[in-house]
Structure 1
Amino acid sequence: MTAAFVAVLAVIAVSMVFDYTNGFHDAANAIATSVSTRALTPRVALAVAAVGNLVGAYFGAGVAKTVGEGLVTLPKGTASLGVVFSGVLGAIAWNLITWYFGLPSSSSHALFGGLVGATLFAADGVVHWEIITTKVIIPMVLSPIVGLVLGFLVMLAVLWIFRKGHPAKLNRGFRVAQTVSATAMAVGHGMQDAAKTMGIIVLALYTGGFQTSRDHIPWWVFITSATVLALGTYSGGWRIIRTLGRRVIDLGPAEGFAAETVASAVLFFNALVLKAPISTTHTITSAIMGVGATKRLSSVRWGVAGNIVAAWILTFPAAATIAVLAYFLVRPLFR
């Protein structure tokens, strides 16, 4: 067994751990609104999210390519795998910290921050700041703004269209509609988040010399990444589900449907058209805030929202810092 083979196995193993934490950390993105409005029972909602993630992973190749080849240039040989290993460790650590405090931070930006942090201190490692700016930073800023504005506008449209409807009948109808919007949200989550893990594994296979092209994603990578993400999703992330479903605003079925519809549309557009890796967390959370603001501004618990935004801001540098510390510890093992 060669050193390169062992190193690639280590990266794949830690990537699967990240994938699993991503699943239970970001399960709330797809199902929090459906659970809080009682459109779906928790376990049914988790099952829908898990299946949606499996389906969405198949369509996330464009995002995987961006993650796998665009963000950084790694050093040569086995040392590059040490960088990837450390970057993913940084993302896992930040996922667990924010999960513990019930904060819906972005697993995506934790992963990007980890990779950038480890690469900065690696010999011959290069961070492509221009690509990170256009493919990560700008979408990171714009997607919450778009989610907030569209959430507000779509909810206004819903309120106007159904202004004469009977509240009880409308609630029943929107609970049924949420099964569709929650499924779309789950597929969008799979297109984004399973793809990121696939991109890391392909990067490891390529740099370890086990694959000649960064463009090719083996079928076993698709299946493994999607399955582990689905298993993590099904295990649930109840702390974050409570934050998104109840602590930001009190959601009704109509609000839940509007927020999920907006967020899934933004995820689909970025994955299929722009091929940009955006945060499902940022998108759905901002859509929920926009929807809630149609009632009155005070209906959004801005203190909770402020804590969430603070976690968003800290995610990239915090994961990068943890990855740097991890890199200095594991660097002697990846020579």
Structure 2
Amino acid sequence: MDITLVVALVIALALFFDFTNGFHDTANAMATPIATGALKPKVAVAIAAVLNLVGAFLSTEVAKTISGGLIREGEQGIQITPVMIFAGLIGAIVWNMVTWFLGLPSSSSHALFGGLIGATIVGAGFGAIDGAVLLSKIVLPAFLAPVIAGVVAFTATKIALVLTRKSDTSQGGFRYGQIFTSSLVSLAHGTNDAQKTMGVITLTLVAAGFQSSGTGPEFWVIVVCALAIALGTYMGGWRIIRTLGTRITDVSPPQGFAAEASTTATILASSHLGFALSTTQVASGSVIGAGLGKDRRAVRWRVAGRIAIAWLITLPAAGLVAALAELIARIGPVGIAIDAAIGVAVIVTIFVRSRRSVVAHHNVTDSDAVPDDASALEPKKAGTP
């Protein structure tokens, strides 16, 4: 298959992943203000989309981590091909769609990293992965960031609740404050998550010989990735917004304000340092911390436990799917076509299944499921319009 055609296919798939990243992660910024009524659902996602677009232009440090750090392109004779990246994206997209369907706020970032790692190991061996970068820039932040965000949110919630005890009117002030803090989370999300797709496209261009190794993303790559994640964000990702906003804990305006502020600080600091962390894990950690700040019994631990399990298996699960896709792709053009057909079939199947129990802007805050029951991550009433 012509290399230009393969590169075009990978870029298109990368932008679709960027789109899924957008609607998968809208909840990170807007779940709590929607849950507390600080913002109307459609207004919230529109604000998030615009600020994701802006944020994507503010930093490229995370993109460089992916395009020139995680995979040792060009070192010791290692040759990463666009086909490997294609397989990695298949793994990431499939896992993103599965967790979106289940309403699980899992990590789009770790799905992407898992996909790239799984495909690269099959295609080029373990030596193609820079273990030091994987540990310092991805694994350690994955464990530390949500804990740090949770501790900050816990502390901020304690302070906020003391303030609201002195004045009932301050609840309204925190509700307005949520508009500001949730907007900052959206901006921060753009500075971190949009960079990951930029890094993937840049890695593809380098692997195909269309761009020099060690260089950052081209301006046109920044533009198309910013637009893709903004469009995905505007689509809402309502299933995950429901889980993060109403299933983990009942969020009050002071808690929402505290959670969003801690999420913003953690993400912006990580983007500055080039840490490709999961904004979803940070946001979830902040919500749990905010719940603990009110009362440990306010956190629905069975739901939090399911989310934690999703965190743990995301990287290996996406890696396994990508590894299988890479094995099939090694057949040649027919294998690539098979991968594409299977990927499309999975996406369409999940979408069709999701229409049986629709969650959208009009019912995202409905409490029609027992929060800590086995069905907590799914709407209880099938066929909801």
Is TM more than 0.5 here?
yes
Write out aligned runs for 1:103-252 (5 A). 103-123=104-124, 126-166=128-168, 169-252=169-252
Aligned pair 1:4/2:6, yes or no? Answer: no
Deviations 1:5-36 (A, max 9, x none): 11111110110110111111111111101111
Which amino acid is 1:171 matched to?
Answer: Q
Aligned partners of 1:139 and 1:278 also within 8 Å:
yes
Number of the residue aligned with 2:28: 29
Deviation at 1:213, TM superposition (A): 4.2
Question: Do 1:74 and 1:80's aligned partners in 2 also have CA atoms closer than 8 Å?
Answer: no
Q: Distance in 2 between matches of 1:216 and 1:199?
A: 8
- Superposed CA RMSD in Å reads 1.7
| CA distance in 2: counterparts of 1:297 and 1:107, whole angstroms | 28
Letter in 2 for 1:222: I
Which residue of structure 2 aligns with residue 52 of structure 1?
A: 51
Unaligned segments of structure 2, at least 5 residues: 337-385
Q: 1:89-147, CA deviations, whole angstroms, 9 ceiling, x for partnerless residues?
A: 10000000101110000000010011111111113661111210111000000011101
Residue 271 of structure 2 is aligned to residue 271 of structure 1: yes
The answer to whether structure 1 residue 96 and structure 2 residue 94 are counterparts is: no
State the distance in 2 between where 1:236 and 1:146 align: 27
**Runs of 5+ in structure 1 lacking a partner?**
none
| Alignment partners' CA distance in 1, 2:78 and 2:131 | 23
CA contact (8 A) 2:91 2:318 kept: yes
Count of aligned residue pairs for this structure pair: 331
Deviations 1:60-104 (A, max 9, x none): 300100011111125779861111111111000000010111000
Identity in percent:
44
- Matching residue of 1:86: 87
Query: 1-side partners of 2:35 and 2:183: how far apart?
Result: 16
**Secondary structure, in 3 states, of the residue corresponding to 2:211?**
coil
Q: CA deviation at 1:215?
A: 2.3
Task: Return the alpha-carbon distance in structure 2 between the equivalents of residues 60 and 48 of structure 1.
Answer: 20
Measured in 2, the distance between the counterparts of 1:78 and 1:3 equals 17
- Report SS of the residue matched to 1:58: coil
Tell me the distance in 1 between the aligned counterparts of 2:215 and 2:166: 53
Measure how far apart 1:311 and its partner are: 0.2
1:265-319 per-residue CA deviation (whole Å, 9 max, x = no partner) reads 10000101x2111100000101110111122111100000000000000001000
TM-score (norm 2): 0.83
